[in-house]
Copies of this chain bind each other. A is one copy, B any other.
Amino acid sequence: MKIDPSSSADLSAQIAKAIRDAIISGALPVDERLPSEAELAEQFDVSRPTVREALKRLAAQSLIRTQRGATGGAFVNRLKFEDAYGQQITTSTLLLSMNAVSFATACEARYALERACAPLSAQRRSADHLATMRAEAHRQSQPGLTDEAFCASDVAFHRALVDAADNPVLSYQLAGAVEAMQPLMNMITFSARSREKIIGLHQMIADAIEAQDAGAADANLAALATYTQELAQGVIAARDKAAR
């Protein structure tokens, strides 16, 4: 187990890659203990700080966890959906904010994916998920709610809708698309009238899900997508007007 010192890449990056590949290939099963840092340093013929940098890289991806003490060490970590959610949301958010992705593009992607969930959600929705959707729709109708709180509740509503599909893989994929939109949504100022319309659509969606009517759920989601795009275009038009 040696590392090519002539390669251009950092040694710690090479070592991290070697270990990562071993984990992905299954050579290192979940909960397996890696050799101690001192042993890894000897095996790869590098110093301990270099090994540590490699391990921190893996820890940043939740591929390993470390524990101090006599029986401690670095262990292959079972990547949990909940950990992956966080990474997914961070990555998606940065992708949107750093690449000048238009509101229209992000919004289109989000609603396309959400509509893919709707039939499954209608079929499998639990009382719990329905109750969450109802509660969030109600919260959105509270007077005095800030735009940001309104958006946060919006996200919670849509997450419940997605989670109702009872497919963790779908929930994971959608988490990024839905949550990453929030900063973009926060740029919209919601008038009393626009809130009313959105809440109405939310209630219709909840009704459709409760009635297990996939067609109605899809139609109302489509309407919500269209209306959201319209609102955003209004904001963009106003901004351009101010900049002119």
Contacts and interface: CB of A to CB of B under 8 A. Distances in A.
A169 B105 contact: yes
Interface string A101-118: 100011011101101110
Q: How many copies does the complex hold?
A: 2
Contact of A56 (B57, B119, B168): B57
A177 B177 CA distance: 13
Contacts of A167: 105, 108-109, 112
A79 B95 contact: yes
Contacts of A87: 61, 87, 91
Contacts of A169: 95-96, 101, 105-106, 108-110, 177
Interface residues of A, number: 58
A116 B113 CA distance: 6
Nearest to A101: B169
Contacts of A57: 56-57, 59-60
Secondary structure of the A contact surface, majority rule: helix
A137 interface: no
A212 interface: no
B98 A30 contact: yes
A50 to B, nearest CB: 10
25 contacts: A20-B90, A24-B93, A24-B94, A26-B97, A30-B98, A52-B53, A56-B56, A56-B57, A57-B59, A57-B60, A60-B61, A78-B98, A81-B95, A84-B95, A87-B91, A95-B169, A101-B168, A105-B167, A105-B168, A108-B120, A112-B116, A112-B120, A112-B165, A115-B116, A116-B116
